[in-house]
Structure formats: C-alpha cells, structure tokens
C-alpha cells in the first residue's frame, strides 16, 4: 500500500466525520449527527452485549464501522432521495470496492466481505448490526426529541422500527427506551 493510497483512504473516510445523516437534515434537525458518529456508537454498542454463543463481537464491531463506509462516496441515500433500492445497492457496492482498492489486499478483502455480509443479512452478526443500526436511529431520535422538549415529534422513526428487531438483548434495550419515552410523554401531557 502506498502512502498516497493511505492518504486517499484517510480523505475518503474523513468525509464521514462531516457528512450529516440525511434523515435528520430532512427534518430540519439543528446540528444533526454525522455518519461517522452513527457508526461509532453502533460499534461501541458491541461492548454492551452480554456474551452470546455464536456471536463474534469483534466482527460486529468491525461490521458496524464498515456498514456505511460507502457513503463517503455516494452520500447518505434514504428512501426519500428518489433512488431505487437496487440502484442504491449497486452504487454502494461499487463505492466499497473503490475504497477497498486503496488498502492492502487482506484489509481489502475483509472490508468487502463485511460489507457484503451486512447487505445480505446472511449471518447472526449482520442481523445484530442491523439491529444496532435501527436502535441507534431511535436512540438518536429520542435524544433530539428530549433536547428540544418535543417528545413525539419523531414518532415516524419509532414506528418504522417496531417489530423489526431480531436480537433479544437489543429488544430489551428498545423496550427500555420506549418505556422511558412513553413515561416522559405522559408526564408532558399531564402538565
């Protein structure tokens, strides 16, 4: 790997530190989270897991850091962007290959494998990381709601994920979050 390739890789992934997540931008959230901060919290959620037979936690951490890496080239494409799911997948697949080309072969192969595994949702780890992705989104929505004293404003994010979590531990986290949110909404409605 050349130093120039490393610099190009750093420039690309550095874009994620500044790329604001589209869903929050579309809802006029002031100072929305970035793609990098989203991936970072997802990776750290791995530490909150109880050891579970058959789950490779290090793999989950790596997959969390890779799953949105292609967005450094294609941007944060959401269903509201007018891009088909197939087109989005193809753009991201090409981008992840372009990014991986900047790395040594062993890393290149690992990044592509992790990305494709996440996209196909073919393993326990991929399904767990998808749960992290959804959990982080509703956690972030709740943080925005509470910071602006606008509980319920971002209900669509909660509604879009209900019943879609697969991991039992993550389901417990979701229940705790929903319970806290509902309790605070009741308090707000009785004032």
The predicted-structure confidence for 51-93, as pLDDT tens digits, reads as follows: 877 899 999 999 999 999 999 999 898 878 888 889 999 999 9
pLDDT band for 1, please (50, 70, 90 cuts): low
What tens digit of pLDDT does each residue of 170-188 get? 999 999 999 999 999 888 7
Which range marks the domain in which residue 15 is found?
3-189
How much is the pLDDT for 141?
A: 97
Whether pLDDT at 105 is above 70 = yes
Q: Using the structure block, give the residue that is written with the tokens 């929505």.
A: 141
SS (H, E, C) 50-67: CCCCCCCHHHHHHHHHHC
Distances (CA, A) of 10 to 76, 91, 113, 114, 115: 19, 20, 20, 19, 18
Can you tell me the distance from the alpha carbon of 70 to that of 128, in angstroms, rounded to the nearest whole number? 20
Q: How many domains does the chain have?
A: 1
CATH of the domain at 113: 1.10.3210.10
Nearest to 80 by CA among 156, 161, 16, 22: 22
Triad 173, 36, 71: Cα angle to 5°: 110
- Residues 160-168 have a mean pLDDT of 96
- Residues 143-170 have a mean pLDDT of 93
Whether pLDDT at 21 is above 70 = yes
**Residue pair 154/144 in contact by the 8 Å Cβ criterion:** yes
pTM summary value: 0.93
Residues in CB range of 54: below 8 A, 6 or more apart = 124
Question: Percentage of residues in the chain with pLDDT exceeding 90?
Answer: 79
How much is the pLDDT for 113?
A: 98
**Residue pair 96/71 in contact by the 8 Å Cβ criterion:** no
Whether pLDDT at 111 is above 90 = yes
């Amino acid at each position: 790997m050349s130093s120039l390739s490393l610099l190009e890789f750093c420039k690309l992934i550095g874009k994620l530190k500044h790329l604001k997540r589209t869903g929050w931008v579309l809802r006029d959230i002031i100072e929305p989270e970035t793609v990098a901060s989203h991936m970072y919290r997802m990776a750290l959620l791995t530490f909150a897991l109880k050891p579970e037979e058959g789950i490779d936690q290090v793999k989950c951490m790596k997959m969390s850091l890779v799953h949105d890496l292609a967005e450094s080239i294609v941007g944060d494409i959401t269903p509201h962007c007018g891009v088909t799911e197939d087109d989005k997948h193809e753009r991201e697949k090409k981008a992840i290959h372009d990014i991986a080309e900047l790395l040594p072969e062993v890393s290149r192969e690992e990044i592509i494998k992790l990305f494709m595994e996440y996209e196909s949702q073919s393993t326990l780890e991929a399904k767990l990381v998808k749960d992290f992705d959804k959990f982080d989104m509703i956690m972030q929505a709740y943080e925005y709601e509470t910071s602006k004293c606008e509980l319920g404003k971002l209900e669509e994010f909660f509604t879009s994920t209900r019943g879609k979590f697969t991991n039992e531990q993550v389901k417990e986290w979701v229940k705790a979050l929903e319970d806290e949110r509902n309790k605070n909404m009741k308090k707000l409605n009785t004032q």
